[in-house]
Structures are given as structure tokens and as C-alpha cells.
Amino acid sequence: MPLLDDALYEALIATTLAAGRVVMQVYDGAFAVAVKGDASPVTEADREAEMVILADLARLMPEIPVVAEESCAEGRIPTVGGTFFLVDPVDGTREFISRNGDFTVNIGLVQDGEPVLGLVYAPARGDLYAGRAGRGAEHFSVVDFEIASRRVIRVSDPAASPPRILASRSHRTPETDDFIARFPGASLVSAGSSLKFCLMAAGEADLYPRMGPTMQWDTAAGDAVLRAAGGSVETIDGAPLGYGPGPGEGVSAYANPWFVARGALEIL
């Protein structure tokens, strides 16, 4: 099955919806919170949704390795080549725990260091975003875990003036605030998880600076959606944010550098 064809795309949408259903079954009940070795929280929603995704990816594309957050946290880190999946079953676990709805299910596909396909599903909000390199990006309205409608989305052109800047709800840093200060009068929107990429992809925001720690599974899916919608994600040095194991051992090999995501490109 070609990597970006319609059949795989629709199958991955179904996988993302199925994982979101599992997440919401946990979200709507009582759940325990554990702490991983890196001090980040985890719930049964993370683990159960990841199991759904991994089973489907093994069926759909068994030859492609999958780097998934919870598996990596338990030491199961595959060897990857030029093509691999990055999976975060619940991005924004803190938002999940606080029950504010800003958490997402994420599946990203990487080829030669670039995110070429991404799906980001916010099940509590009923929003699913998807994008493919060279094929554009879409927003889906979801009702009862079924697609109710879909529309093509694209970044804002031109940018709002002053720009609309997205800031992490749970991970603001002084460096991020210094960046924001470069844009007097900018409107600030707080959002959790990979939704920030998707809001830019849909033309609802212009900039997302992230001067703080993230992992590649946090960003790959949303990055793919944003790039497919006409945006970009670059490191502080101006290079495209790349994907694949870097320096470090184990999980640390998948850490991201600081980056700035842009909707309308003429902002900077």
C-alpha cells in the first residue's frame, strides 16, 4: 500500500477515531494517574490507546517501525530507517487529567526526516485534523466517533496584524515570553497539546514558539498537518525541524530542539 494513498489515509483516520474512543472511555470515568521515570504523568488512556494504534499499524504497514511514547518509556525503542511512524496516544496528558479537553491522539509518518502524514484527533472537542505532504490538510467534525463533515484547511494569508501567538498552556518558559515580547500588541491564545499546530493550519493563529522540551512524537503529526496546510516549523537556527534519532541514547535520541511554528510565512 503506497504510503500516502487514499486507502491508507482513510484507514489511519479510522484508527485515530478508534483510539479516541478508548481515550474517552477512560476520560469519562474514574482513572488513576501514575508518574513515569521522566516525572511526566501517564494514565491507562495512554497505554490503551497506544495498544489500539500499534495493533492497527502492525496490520496496515507491518514493515514500518513505530516509535511510540509509552513503548519507548518502557524501553521498547525500535531501530528505524528513513521511514517510520511516531505515535503519541495522548498528547497533553496534563490537560486530560485536568479534564479541559485540550488533549489529542497523534499519528505521524516520517520519510527521510520530514513529517509527510499526520493525524491529530481531539476527541473531547470532536475535532480531527489530517494532512499529507503535497495533498493538503483537512479538518473533520466528529460526532459519536464518526465523521460528520470535512473541509479543506489552509494557513492564514496574510497573517493577522499584530499576530495571533499560541502559547503552551502547561509549559511556558521565560524564553518563550521573551520571544512573544518581540511582537507588541500580539494577541495570545493558550492551548494544550498538538492542537496548536492545527489551529495555525486552520488559519486561526499565526505563530507558536516553543522554547522548552518536547519529543518528536509530541510534534510529528501536528507538524505534518501544518506543513500540508502551507505552514512551516523551524529550529531557532532557521532549519526545518527534522525527525529521526539524534544524539543521545534511548528516549533522549528523540528529543526536539527549540522551534518556532509559523502559519503565514511572512511574519518573520
What's the rounded mean pLDDT across residues 76-94? 95
- Is 88 known as a binding-site position? yes
Q: Is the pLDDT score of 147 beyond 90?
A: yes
Compute the average pLDDT of residues 218-235: 97
Q: Give mean pLDDT, residues 246-266.
A: 89
Q: Is 63 annotated as a binding residue?
A: no
Q: Annotation-wise, does 173 bind a ligand?
A: no
Q: Do 61 and 29 reside in the same domain of the chain?
A: yes
**Predicted local distance difference test score (pLDDT) of residue 173:** 84
101 and 130 together in one domain: yes
69 is in an annotated binding site: yes
Residue 267: the pLDDT is 58
Residue 105: pLDDT over 80:
yes
| 85: containing domain | 6-153
Mean pLDDT of the chain: 92
Same domain, 17 and 146: yes
Residues 92 and 121 in one domain: yes
pLDDT of residue 265: 59
pTM for the whole thing? 0.95
Whether the predicted pLDDT of 248 surpasses 90: no
Where residue 230 sits, what CATH number does that domain have? 3.40.190.80
- 158 occurs within a structural domain: no
Q: 124 with 207, same domain?
A: no
- Mapped to the 3 state alphabet, what secondary structure does the chain carry? CCCCCHHHHHHHHHHHHHHHHHHHHHHCCCCCCEECCCCCEECHHHHHHHHHHHHHHHHHCCCCCEEEHHHHHCCCCCCCCCEEEEEEEEECHHHHHHCCCCCEEEEEEEECCEEEEEEEEECCCCEEEEEECCCEEEEEEEECCEEEEEEEECCCCCCCCCCEEEEECCCCCHHHHHHHCCCCCCEEEEECCCHHHHHHHCCCCCEEEECCCCEHHHHHHHHHHHHHCCCEEEECCCCECCCCCCCCCHHHHHECCCEEEECCHHHC
Q: How many domains does the chain have?
A: 2
Averaged over 48-66, what is the pLDDT?
97
